[in-house]
Structure 1
Amino acid sequence: MLNWTLLLVSAAAMFLLSWLSMRAAGDKDESGFLVANNSLGPFVAAATIIATGYSGFVFMGAPGVAYQYGSFELYSNTFYTPAFLIATVFFAGFLRRKAQRMGSRTISEYIANSHSDGAAGRWLRAISAIIIVLLLSVFLVSQIRAIGLLMSGWLGVSSSTAALFITLLVIGYTIFGGLRAVAWTDTVMIIGMVIASCAIGYVIFVEVGAAELISRLDLIDPELANPSTGAPYGGSTLASFLVLPYAFLWAAALPYMSVRFLAIKKDVSMAKVGIWVAIMGLLLNFTPLAGLYARAYFPNLDTPDMAMPTFIGDAFGPVMASMITLFILFAMKSTANSLMHTISTAISYDIRHALGVKTGFFSRMSFNRLMVVLVGIMAFVTMAYLPPVMVLWLGVLGNGTLMASLFGVSLCSTFWQGNSVGALTSIAAGFCTSAYALMATEMGWVQGPLLGCLASAIAYFAVSSLTRKFPIGGSREALAN
Structure 2
Amino acid sequence: MDYTTLNWVLMIATFAVMIGVGAMSSRTVSESDEGGFLLAGRSLGPFVGASTIVATGFSGWGFMGSPGVAHEFGAIEVLGNFFFAPAMMIAVLFFANSMQKRALKMGSNTIPEYIAQIHGGGDGGRLLQGVAAIITIVLLMVFMVSQIKAVGMLGASWLGIDMTTSAWMMISIIIIYTMWGGLAAVAWTDTIMVCGMVVGALVITGQMFFSVDLSDWVTRLNDINPSLLNPETAAPYGDSKSSVFFVLPYAFLFAAVLPYMAVRFLAFRPDVKMHRVGVYVALMGGVLSLIPIVGLYMRAYGPALAEADQAMPMYLQTFMHPAVQGIITLFIIFAMKSTANSMLHTVASATSHDIRLALFKDAQHDSPRALSINRLAVVGLGLLGLFMMMYAPPFMLSWLGILGSGTLLAAMIGPVFISTFWQGTVPGALAAMIVGFLTSGTLMLASDMGWVEGPLIGCLASSVCYFVVSMATRGSAQVQVRRA
If the TM-score is normalised by the length of the shorter chain, which range does it land in?
over 0.9
Q: Which stretch of the first structure deviates more once superposed, 259-268 or 462-471?
A: 462-471
What's 1:237 paired with? 241
**Cα-Cα RMSD:** 1.8
Partner of 2:434: 428
> Is it true that 1:462 corresponds to 2:429 in the alignment?
no
* Letter paired with 2:398: L
Q: Distance in 1 between matches of 2:92 and 2:205?
A: 26
- 1:253 is the counterpart of 2:284: no
Aligned counterparts of 1:210 and 1:116: Cα–Cα separation in 2: 59
Partner in structure 1 of residue 455 of structure 2: 449
Task: Give the distance between the partners of 1:19 and 1:470, measured in 2 at CA.
Answer: 55
Shift of 1:71: 1.1
Percent identity reads 49
1:21-32 correspondence to structure 2 within 5 Å: 21-32=25-36
Q: CA deviation at 1:144?
A: 0.3
Instruction: Kindly report structure 1 stretches of 4+ aligned residues shifted beyond 4 Å.
Output: none
CA–CA distance in structure 1, aligned partners of residues 354 and 286 of structure 2: 35
1:327 aligned partner:
331
Are 1:149 and 1:306, in contact at CA under 8 Å, matched by a contact in 2?
Answer: no
Aligned residue identity for 2:404:
G
Q: Distance in 2 between matches of 1:208 and 1:364?
A: 57
Corresponding residue number in structure 2 for 1:397: 403
1:228 is paired with a residue whose SS is coil
Does residue 37 (structure 1) correspond to residue 38 (structure 2)? The answer is no
1:278 equivalenced with 2:282 (yes/no) = yes
Would you say the 8 A contact 1:204–1:210 is kept in 2? no
CA offsets, 1:148-191, max 9 Å, x none? 11111111111111111101111111111100110111111110
One-letter amino acid of the counterpart of residue 169, structure 1: I
- Structure 1: distance between partners of 2:20 and 2:215: 46
Corresponding residue number in structure 2 for 1:379: 385
Provide the rounded CA distance (Å) in 2 between the counterparts of 1:256 and 1:137.
Answer: 12
TM-score (norm 2): 0.95
Q: Secondary structure at the match of 1:287?
A: coil
**What CA distance in whole angstroms lies between the structure 2 residues aligned with 1:65 and 1:209?**
23
Distance 1:432 1:299, change over 3 A: farther
Once the 2 structures are TM-superposed, how far is the Cα of residue 200 of structure 1 from its aligned partner?
Answer: 1.6
Change (3 A) 1:250 1:50: same
Aligned to 2:73: 69
Amino acid at match of 2:163: S
- 1:79 to 2:88 alignment: no
Per-residue Cα deviation, 1:1-32 (whole angstroms, up to 9, x for no partner) = 11111011011011111111102444431111
State how far apart, in whole Å, the 1-side matches of 2:476 and 2:306 are: 58
- Partners of 1:379 and 1:271 in 2: CA distance: 36
Kindly state the Cα deviation for residue 222 of structure 1 after the two structures are TM-superposed: 1.2
Secondary structure at 1:417 match in 2: coil
The whole-number CA distance in structure 1 between the counterparts of 2:172 and 2:235 is 36
1:390 partner amino acid:
M
Which residue does 1:413 correspond to in 2? Answer: 419
Q: What do the CA deviations read for 1:34-71 (whole angstroms, capped 9, x no partner)?
A: 01111111101100000000111100110010111011
Distance 1:447 1:266 in 2: 36
1:176 maps to 180
Does the alignment pair 1:136 with 2:140? yes
Mapped contact 2:148–2:389 kept (Cα < 8 A): yes
* Structure 2 residues not aligned, in runs of 5+: none
Contact 1:70 1:292 in 2 (8 A): yes
Using structure 1 for the length normalisation, give the TM-score.
0.96
Q: Displacement of 1:431 after TM fit?
A: 0.7
Q: Distance in 1 between matches of 2:412 and 2:11?
A: 37
**In structure 2, C-alpha distance between the alignment counterparts of 1:437 and 1:228, rounded to whole Å:** 23
In the aligned structure 2, how far is the partner of 1:211 from the partner of 1:287?
20
Instruction: Confirm or deny that 1:267 pairs with 2:271.
Output: yes
Matched AA of 1:379? G
What secondary structure does 1:174 align onto?
helix
Q: Partner amino acid for 2:339?
A: T
Equivalent residue number for residue 306 of structure 1:
310
What is the match of residue 359 of structure 2? 355
Which residue type is aligned with residue 405 of structure 1?
Answer: A
CA displacement, residues 242-275 of structure 1 (integer Å, 9 cap, x when unaligned): 1100000000110000000000011111111101
Match for residue 111 of structure 2? 107
Contact 1:229 1:236 in 2 (8 A): yes
